[in-house]
């Protein structure tokens, strides 16, 4: 099923679900009954991978309510902390 957008001349935009290729040119508005014409828009063809979507949602939540750190980050298997070249000159504890 595909969601199609229709624009009522008196009310607002309406979203209606039809099978692909079966959407009519106009549907009656559920509020006022006027003929609502189909509004064309760009399709959403790209899908975001689940891992990327989870990171984006976490970043959005963190923007207004930062996450509180309760423990130190884990060390790598060898016991050494990875050193980034940009932070190599900073003092280490």
- Taking only the tens of pLDDT, the chain with its 93 residues reads 788 899 998 888 888 898 888 889 999 988 888 899 998 877 766 778 888 888 888 888 888 877 777 777 776 666 566 667 777 777 776
Task: Let me know if residue 19 belongs to a domain.
Answer: yes
Task: Let me know if residue 22 belongs to a domain.
Answer: yes
Task: Let me know if residue 80 belongs to a domain.
Answer: no
pTM to 2 decimal places: 0.45
- CATH number of the domain at 35, please: 2.20.28
- Cα 15 to Cα 8, 11, 28, 47, 65: the distances in Å are 11, 13, 12, 21, 33
What is the SS3 assignment for 65? Answer: coil
Task: Let me know if residue 71 belongs to a domain.
Answer: no
Residues β-bridged to residue 35: 28
Task: Let me know if residue 13 belongs to a domain.
Answer: yes
Q: Which pLDDT score is estimated for 89? A: 74
Task: Let me know if residue 35 belongs to a domain.
Answer: yes
Q: Which pLDDT score is estimated for 7? A: 92
How many distinct structural domains can be found in the chain? 1
Contact (Cβ atoms closer than 8 angstroms) between residue 30 and residue 14: yes
**Residue 37: partners with Cβ closer than 8 Å, 6 or more residues away:** 6, 7, 25, 26
């Amino acid at each position: 099923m595909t969601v199609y957008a229709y624009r009522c001349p008196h009310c607002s935009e309406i979203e209606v679900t039809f099978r692909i290729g079966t959407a009519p040119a106009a549907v009656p508005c559920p509020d006022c009954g006027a003929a609502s014409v189909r509004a064309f828009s760009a399709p959403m063809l790209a899908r975001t991978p689940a891992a990327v979507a989870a990171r984006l949602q976490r970043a959005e939540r963190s923007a207004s309510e930062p996450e509180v750190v309760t423990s130190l980050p884990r060390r790598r298997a060898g016991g050494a902390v990875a050193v980034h070249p940009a932070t190599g000159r900073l003092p280490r504890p």
